[in-house]
């Protein structure tokens, strides 16, 4: 601490530049915005709103599938129970998991449902999770899981393992479609016909060319001339026919 | 059975000067703090020493002052006249000793009583003062106010002047750290107020040619100025002002004898009044005072004989008289603006026209707001009796008589995750809690109306008491205490956006902070460590033998109230929210909080943060 001042030159010593870093600098508001915005945007994109292209699942869906596999013993399980189990992997509220599960069930592909799961045509909602039951469909058991080829990561509390991706042997993303609004990015994939997807898959495996367009579970007539292979800006036009039975309904 | 405390001759103590300072540092330097806030004691120490060097400059002795801050050690060197060599020890260690008692020239300085440097001396673990004059020099060294070394006067070839080196005592300032930003801000204020003075800080030069005009230039972006800054000067007074296109609130920087009066006082009130009066008289219309002053960005500096301040820390002027045969502060400022600003407006009709347009626009906006404001006022009246989101503390910033008023803190918490724990573990005298429900609205691009319409914002405004400007702010520190997870980050952004939009002066004056909470807890059966970074975690694991239990904190809800005491007590870690020049506020808010743009999309995609915690790593 004590430097003797015998003679001159302390002007120089005062202004030597190597001492600038020693005082701490503070992250300014623009730095804060940049960092936090990227944290938030990255999370919403990667962990919440956008499905992974490899298996077609959003994280909540993947965790539901993984939990159902955990619980699978061939019998129906109460949805409330599955939701509770999913919370071991998904650090969010039970309502959002329950809603995600009902939506997944309503696609009628991966989940074998029992009870009132709601109606996509009339908009009726499903019964409460404590009433309805579910188990994995035969198709899901066959196509979605394979522990040997699954890469694992730690769950949020560090106590369990969960899959990074599920090794899905089927173009699930195209079959189910997806919709999600994240920060800066959003996604919309329309659903496709199951049989057409299988035909197209076979064609790809054989190295032949193929073309595939959206189809809807609810049926209807669709014009896909501007579909543009589903790329950004592509359009699908749906025609509805409305006829009136009586003047007064 | 209460026992009566004995009160005898033994109880009466006369404290030695340094003992008294060390016992009651608050009386001399305000609060202690660790350097995370600009009014912390360690900066006041620098200021006290610097003030003496500035006085030398004012006496036309020494145009350059050099400051260097290395970790804990501060050195300040001026080229003034130097302390008379025989009195070097007395000046820094004998109370009520000073050279400014009878000199007329020092009548207009802030420190008159010769307390400053003694306080610095007593509060430093090492203090050294050296003086050079008439080719002779001597120095004196102290430890905590005790003289340790004072050699004989010897010959020297150095330039005349004074050099003070000190290290704040870590026993009094716990775990302190100097922040360059605050020191630079302080230095800038000095050079703005002392045209011609050069301060060299850690090798960097600070210098101002245009005084307060430069200060305003620094504080307002070029494109948001309504017109070039009006800069008026006379003996004992200097004024600069313009209007902002982007900001709703009034902004004043006021100074008395070179002292930054952050809380205003008589001169600032007189200045506000005088602007309105001058403008009204010029246009010959009786505009509403708030319309005239809306969006004004201004600075005033006056010199008063023997100023009187309302508080020990000299942040609010109480003098009504200018002294020295001049009229009252009020008349003096009013007369000055009446002639000089009026003349300026007559000579620059284009500026006058712009001001008039601005006033009319303000009037229109105010009338639009008035309906909803009344409604919100009624609601606020209820809120001031019972603000349901606020759990208040006993002391507030406005309680001038309380020593701990500068410690008053409002924690803004996210939902239920932390408000319960903070409420339970807080210091009820100085710490208040405001709990948000879910995410606040994104206020970017919305008009001020939303502050009244949105219940949460309205309650926050009334909790802070900043509807009519920040002079009546109820808490010195506003701390955003959200979870350290992504939604917490988002809430921070939304809240800072709210403050930047409607109350930017809160951030400019350094009232807003982010609470840093630990990311990990590492513990074994005997010891527990709370770690704020990956590095601290590794160190903690090393210091514990065997396999410690590591918990990663993701939400404040995971921390129990008895743990929370450590995070908001004296070891509290706060990150100040500070503005910078990298991007204008407008630009920044538009980019991050505004509409989605291809630019932003590209920015996100290029910078996407991927975090993967693969299972193999931990097995």
Residue that has been written with the tokens 């102290």 in this structure: B142
**Count of positions (residues) in chain A:** 249
Beta strands in A165-217 (DSSP E): 178-181, 186-189
Do the beta carbons of residue A74 and residue A210 sit within 8 Å? Answer: no
| Section B432-438 average pLDDT | 90
List strands edge to edge, sheet with B237-243. B230-234, B237-243, B296-302, B251-256, B259-260
What does the pLDDT average to over B312-334? 83
Specify the pairing of strand B296-302 against strand B251-256: parallel
Residue B76 has pLDDT above 90, yes or no: yes
| B79 has a pLDDT exceeding 60 | yes
Which pair of structure tokens corresponds to residue B280? 């009204």
> What is the percent of chain B with per-residue pLDDT over 70, rounded to a whole number?
93
Distance from CA of B145 to the nearest CA of A (A): 16
The whole-number pLDDT of residue B617 equals: 46
- Using DSSP's 3-state secondary structure scheme, residue B243 falls into strand
> Is B113 a residue whose pLDDT tops 60?
no
Any B CB within 8 A of A18 CB:
no
Work out the minimum CA distance from A26 to partner chain B, whole angstroms. 7
With respect to CATH, is domain B212-367 assigned 3.80.10.10?
A: no
- Which of A141, A220, A167, A143 shows the shortest CA–CA distance to A52? A167
Closest residue, chain B, to A19 (C-alpha): B70
What integer pLDDT is reported at residue B429 of this predicted model? 92
pLDDT of residue B446: 86
- Structural domain spans, chain B: 17-207, 212-367, 388-517+561-607
- Please state, for a pLDDT cut of 70, what percent of chain A lies above it: 89
The per-residue pLDDT for B165 is: 94
φ, ψ of residue B492 to 5 degrees: the values are -60, -45
**B529 near B523, Cβ under 8 Å?**
yes
Could you give the residue ranges of the DSSP H alpha helices within B526-593?
A: 534-543, 561-568, 585-593
* DSSP track, B84-149: -GGGHHHHHHSTT--S-SS-GGGGG-S--SS-HHHHHHHTEEEEEEEEEETTEEEEEEEETTEEEE
Rounded mean pLDDT of B154-163? 87
Cβ B576–A26 below 8 Å, yes or no? yes
Q: What is the pLDDT of residue B2?
A: 54
Comparing A127-136, B334-343, B397-406, B455-464, which segment has the lowest mean pLDDT? B397-406
Residue contact B489–A185, C-beta within 8 A? no
Q: Would you say B493 and A33 are in contact if contact means Cβ atoms under 8 Å apart? A: yes
A233-243 average pLDDT score: 85
Q: Does A30 contact chain B (CB < 8 Å)?
A: yes
> Which tokens sit at A175?
């079959």
Q: Is the pLDDT of residue A216 over 70?
A: yes
Judge: A153–B613 Cβ closer than 8 Å, yes or no: yes
| pLDDT tens for each residue of A38-59 | 999 999 998 889 999 889 999 9
Mean pLDDT is highest, among A70-74, A153-157, B94-98, for: A70-74
Among A119-128, B547-556, B569-578, the range scoring the smallest mean pLDDT is B547-556
For residue A6, give the chain B residue with the closest CA.
Answer: B156
- Res B128 pLDDT > 80: yes
A40-49, B368-377, B482-491: least confident range: B368-377
Residues of A noted as catalytic: 131
Mean pLDDT of chain A: 86
Question: Out of A103-107, B299-303, B607-611, which region has the weakest mean confidence (pLDDT)?
Answer: B607-611
Same fold, B212-367 and B388-517+561-607: no
Q: Structural domain boundaries of chain A?
A: 57-167
User: Which residue from B598, B559, B593, B608 is spatially nearest to B420, judged by alpha carbons?
Assistant: B559
- pLDDT exceeds cutoff 90 at B51: no
pLDDT digits (tens, 9 = 90+) for A167-210: 999 999 999 999 989 888 889 999 999 999 999 999 999 999 99
Q: Is B286 helix (H, G, I), strand (E, B) or coil?
A: coil
Give the mean pLDDT of B516-523. Answer: 85
The tokens for B137 are: 């020099």
pLDDT of residue A157: 78
Q: Are A36 and B490 a contacting pair at CB < 8 A?
A: yes
Whole-number pLDDT of residue A135: 95
Quick check: B269 pLDDT over 60? Answer: yes
Beta bridge pairs of residue B309: B317
pLDDT of residue B114: 59
Which is more confidently placed, B495 or B48? B495
Buried b (16+ CB within 10 A) or exposed e, B434-453: bbbeeebebbbebebebbbe
Asked whether the beta carbons of B568 and B426 are under 8 A apart, the reply is: yes
The pLDDT value recorded for residue B111 is: 57
Q: Decide: B383 and B487 in contact? Cβ < 8 Å.
A: no
pLDDT recorded at residue B103: 57
> Residue A239 is inside which H or E element, if any?
strand A237-239
Instruction: Tell me the CATH number for domain A57-167.
Output: 3.90.199.10
Q: Give the mutation candidate from A37, A48, A52, A54 for the B interface (greatest B CB count, under 10 A).
A: A37
- By the CB < 8 Å criterion, does A184 face chain B? yes
Q: Is residue A5 scored above 60 in pLDDT?
A: no
- With a threshold of 0.90, tell me whether the complex ipTM lies above it: no
Query: What is the reported pLDDT for B304?
Result: 85
pLDDT at position B102 is: 57
Residue in A22, A27, A35 closest to B70 by CB? A22
Tokens representing residue B327 in the block: 């009229």
| Residue A17: predicted pLDDT | 41
- B333 pLDDT more than 50: yes
For chain B, give the mean pLDDT. 84
CB pairs A-B closer than 8 Å: 155
- Specify whether domain B388-517+561-607 bears CATH 3.40.50.670: yes
B100: confidence class by pLDDT, cuts 50, 70, 90: low
| Over residues A102-116, mean pLDDT | 94
Question: To which H or E segment does residue A186 belong?
Answer: strand A186-189
CB contact under 8 A, A15 and B600: no
Cβ <8 Å between A23 and B613: no
Q: Flag whether pLDDT at B107 surpasses 80.
A: no
A153–chain B Cβ distance below 8 A for any pair: yes
Average pLDDT over residues B378-389: 66
pLDDT the model gives residue B124: 92
Q: Select from B483, B614, B619 the residue whose CB has the most chain A CBs within 10 Å, as the one to mutate to test that interface.
A: B614
Find, among A89, A88, A85, A92, the residue nearest to A129 by Cα.
A85
Residue B187 vs residue B321, higher pLDDT: B187
Give the containing element (helix H, strand E) for B283: helix B266-283
User: What is the rounded average pLDDT of the residues B386-394?
Assistant: 84
pLDDT exceeds 90 at position B185: no
Residue-level pLDDT at A12: 41
A122 Cβ under 8 Å from any chain B Cβ: no
CATH class of domain segment(s) B17-207: alpha beta
> Which of B38, B202, B417 best tests the A interface by mutation, with the highest count of A CBs <10 A?
B202
How many CB atoms are located within 10 Å of the residue A45 CB? 22
Q: Please say whether the beta carbons of A224 and A213 come within 8 A.
A: yes
Residue B4 CB: number of other CB atoms within 10 A? 5
């Amino acid at each position: 601490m004590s430097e003797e001042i015998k003679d001159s030159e302390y002007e120089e010593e005062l202004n030597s530049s190597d001492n600038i870093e020693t005082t701490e600098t503070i992250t300014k508001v623009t730095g804060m915005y940049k960092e936090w915005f990227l944290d938030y945007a990255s999370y919403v994109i990667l962990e919440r709103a956008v499905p992974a292209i490899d298996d077609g699942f959003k994280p909540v869906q993947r965790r539901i599938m993984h939990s159902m596999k955990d619980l699978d013993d061939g019998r129906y399980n109460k949805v409330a129970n599955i939701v509770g189990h999913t919370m071991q992997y998904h650090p969010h509220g039970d309502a959002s998991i329950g809603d995600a599960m009902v939506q997944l069930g309503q696609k009628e592909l991966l989940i074998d449902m029992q009870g009132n799961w709601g109606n996509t045509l009339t908009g009726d909602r499903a019964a409460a999770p404590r009433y309805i039951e579910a188990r994995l469909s035969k198709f899901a058991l066959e196509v979605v899981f394979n522990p040997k080829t699954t890469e694992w990561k730690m769950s949020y509390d560090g106590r369990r393992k969960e899959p990074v991706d599920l090794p899905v042997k089927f173009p699930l993303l195209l079959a189910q479609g997806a919709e999600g609004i994240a920060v800066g990015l959003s996604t919309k994939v329309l659903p496709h016909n199951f049989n057409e997807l299988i035909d197209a898959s076979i064609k790809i495996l054989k190295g032949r060319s193929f073309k595939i367009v959206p189809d809807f579970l609810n049926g209807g007539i669709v014009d896909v001339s501007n579909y543009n292979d589903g790329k950004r800006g592509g359009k699908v036009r749906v025609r509805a026919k409305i006829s009136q039975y009586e003047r007064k309904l | 059975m209460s026992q009566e405390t004995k009160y005898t001759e033994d109880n009466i103590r006369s404290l030695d000067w340094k003992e008294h300072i060390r016992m009651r540092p608050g009386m001399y330097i305000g609060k202690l703090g660790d350097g995370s806030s600009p009014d912390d004691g360690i900066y006041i120490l620098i200021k006290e020493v610097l003030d003496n060097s500035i006085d030398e400059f004012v006496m036309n002795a020494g145009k350059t002052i050099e400051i260097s801050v290395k970790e804990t050690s501060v050195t300040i060197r001026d080229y003034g006249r130097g302390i008379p060599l025989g009195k070097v020890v007395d000046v820094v260690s004998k109370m009520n000793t000073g050279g400014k008692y009878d000199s007329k020239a020092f009548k207009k300085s802030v420190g008159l009583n010769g307390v400053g440097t003694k306080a610095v001396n007593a509060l430093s673990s090492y203090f050294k003062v050296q003086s050079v004059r008439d080719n002779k020099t001597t120095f004196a060294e102290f430890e905590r106010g005790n003289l340790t070394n004072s050699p004989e006067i010897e010959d020297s070839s150095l330039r005349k002047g004074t050099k003070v080196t000190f290290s704040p005592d870590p026993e009094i300032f716990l775990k302190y750290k100097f922040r360059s930003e605050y020191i630079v801000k302080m230095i800038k204020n000095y050079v703005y107020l002392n045209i011609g003075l050069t301060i060299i800080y850690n090798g960097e030069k600070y210098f101002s040619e245009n005084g307060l005009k430069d200060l305003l230039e620094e504080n307002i972006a070029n494109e948001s100025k309504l017109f070039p800054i009006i800069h008026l000067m006379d003996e004992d007074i200097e004024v600069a002002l313009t209007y902002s296109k982007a900001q709703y609130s009034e902004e004043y920087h006021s100074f008395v004898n070179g002292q930054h009066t952050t809380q205003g006082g008589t001169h600032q009130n007189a200045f506000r009044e005088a602007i309105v009066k001058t403008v009204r008289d010029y246009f010959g219309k009786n505009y509403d005072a708030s319309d005239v002053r809306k969006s004004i960005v201004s600075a005033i500096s006056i010199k008063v004989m023997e100023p009187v301040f309302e508080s020990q820390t000299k942040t609010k002027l109480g003098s009504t008289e200018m002294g020295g045969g001049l009229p009252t502060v009020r008349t003096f400022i009013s007369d000055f603006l009446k002639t000089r600003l009026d003349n300026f407006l007559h000579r620059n009709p284009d500026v006058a026209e712009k001001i008039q347009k601005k006033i009319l626009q303000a009037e229109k906006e105010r009338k639009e707001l008035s309906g909803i404001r009344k409604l919100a006022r009624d609601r606020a009246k209820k809120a001031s009796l019972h603000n349901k989101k606020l759990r208040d503390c006993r002391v507030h910033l406005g309680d001038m008589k309380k020593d701990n008023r500068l410690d008053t803190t409002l924690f803004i918490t996210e939902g239920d995750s932390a408000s319960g724990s903070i409420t339970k573990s807080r210091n009820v005298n100085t710490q208040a809690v405001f709990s948000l429900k879910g995410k606040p609205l994104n206020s970017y691009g919305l008009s001020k109306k939303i502050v009244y319409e949105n219940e949460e914002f309205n309650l926050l405004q009334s909790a802070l008491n900043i509807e009519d400007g920040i002079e009546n702010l109820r808490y010195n520190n506003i701390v955003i205490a959200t979870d350290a997870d992504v939604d917490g980050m988002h809430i921070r952004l939304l809240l800072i956006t709210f403050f930047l939009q409607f109350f930017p002066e809160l951030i400019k004056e350094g009232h807003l902070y982010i609470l840093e909470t630990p990311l990990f807890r590492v513990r074994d059966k005997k010891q527990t460590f709370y770690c704020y970074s990956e590095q601290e975690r590794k160190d903690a694991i090393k210091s514990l033998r065997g396999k410690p239990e590591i918990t990663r904190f993701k939400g404040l809800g995971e921390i129990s109230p008895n743990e929370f005491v450590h995070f908001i007590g004296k070891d509290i870690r706060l990150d100040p929210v500070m503005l910078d020049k990298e991007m204008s506020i407008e630009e920044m808010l538009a980019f991050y909080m505004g509409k989605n743009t291809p630019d932003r999309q590209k920015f996100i995609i290029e910078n996407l943060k991927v975090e993967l915690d693969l299972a193999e790593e931990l097995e």
